[in-house]
Amino acid sequence: MLKASIRKIPLYHATAALRVAPAPCLGVSCRTFMTSSIRRSALTSKRTYEETSKENSSRPSGDNSSSALTKPDGVSTVPTMVRGDWVLFHPVYTPEELKAVEVLHRDAKTINDKLASNLVKFARWAFDFVSGYKHKPIPPDSNMTLEQLRKGGYILDEHQWLNRILFLETIAGVPGMVAATLRHLTSLRLMRRDNGWIHTLLEEAENERMHLMTFMTLRQPSIFFRAIVLGAQGVFYNLFFLSYIISPKTCHRFVAYLEEEAVVTYTRCIKEIELGRLPEWTSKTAPPIAIDYWRLAPDAKLLDVIYAVRSDESTHRFVNHSLANLDAKTDVNPFALREPDMHIKGKKLGFERSEADKYVQESHKILQQSKVARESK
């Protein structure tokens, strides 16, 4: 049915129809741009253009210090109501969804699954060893102070948490972009459609990059740290590139296991903050980029941001386990039209192929209902 569904409703028509009329998508994260109306009015506003022109004409021609093109923030040329540098779909969570994420693990059943799982375990061990991360269980009835807990390797301080998060996010943004690139090239080379995978993979890559941009507001890494990232990224990109050519299924399973570890990491971070073991972040306000990206409350705290990041990682866990259960050559991406809400993605590891087939059929029904509703008006 996943293969047959390609012929029933072309994905590009289906996606357009659902984005035009998202109202029937109850209980799911409809794939619409959360800022589409804001962006449209902002980018086509005559008043904004005139104001920008006046500002530019009042500046000396040789003054580059205030030029919009030389500012680090690439969106400085549009109104301040849009502060992010993203354009793709991403979920915005309700408070209930943020608390719905569970730490889950899929047992490795096949040889490919075991290979992917063991590679993630090795990568986790290697990174923990290099970074000195131990996460030893705190003895019951312990009266150690916060400083003693940190020196004993039981918990991390702010600097260690940021080192860990920044490095992980620089790596986590690679697989989606590599997979999307390869599927894009395959589509061009074979002159056939991609069945909706490319956009979801690009969305994942951008989402991980936005995690990095968010935590970069808390700390600027050293040159040495950046050099390590450069080397790790170069090695990982090429290895993942070659691996995806050989076995996309194994690669998606690898990413899913990696995201399982990410959910564990952010769950531990949330616990440390809520228990008062990371006082530097207890009352820290959320960066503006995070408030805008996840549509958080104006008075949101950094803890709210980490809850949102964990939900994103749970989404990637769910999506990649689901994609690993499909035939990458023929099956439609079930998330090209919509995604389940966090009450499903946070509590379930992914769709089996039969479940993905049913989900696609339900999406088509929603599209047909939307079409009928529009035509009846």
| Binding-site positions | 169, 208, 211, 259, 313, 316
* Cα end-to-end span (Å), the chain: 32
Burial of 138 (0-12, 13-18, 19+ CB in 10 A): middle
Of 257, 177, 162, the residue nearest 211 (C-alpha):
162
What is the CA angle 303-307-313, rounded to 5?
140
| 233: alpha, beta or left? (left if phi > 0; alpha if psi -120 to 50) | alpha
What is the spatial distance between Cα 88 and Cα 204, in angstroms, rounded to a whole number? 9
Q: Enumerate the H helices of the chain as residue ranges.
A: 4-8, 11-20, 36-43, 46-57, 95-98, 111-131, 146-151, 158-172, 174-190, 197-216, 223-246, 248-274, 279-282, 288-294, 302-324, 342-345, 353-375
Question: Do the beta carbons of residue 78 and residue 48 sit within 8 Å?
Answer: yes
Nearest CA-CA partner of 88 in 324, 304, 336: 336
Write out the binding residues for Fe cation.
169, 208, 211, 259, 313, 316
CA 64/CA 60 separation, integer angstroms: 9
Q: Phi then psi for 245, rounded to 5 degrees?
A: -65, -40
309, 211 in Cβ contact below 8 A? yes
Structure tokens at 308: 């949102």
Using DSSP's 3-state secondary structure scheme, residue 145 falls into coil
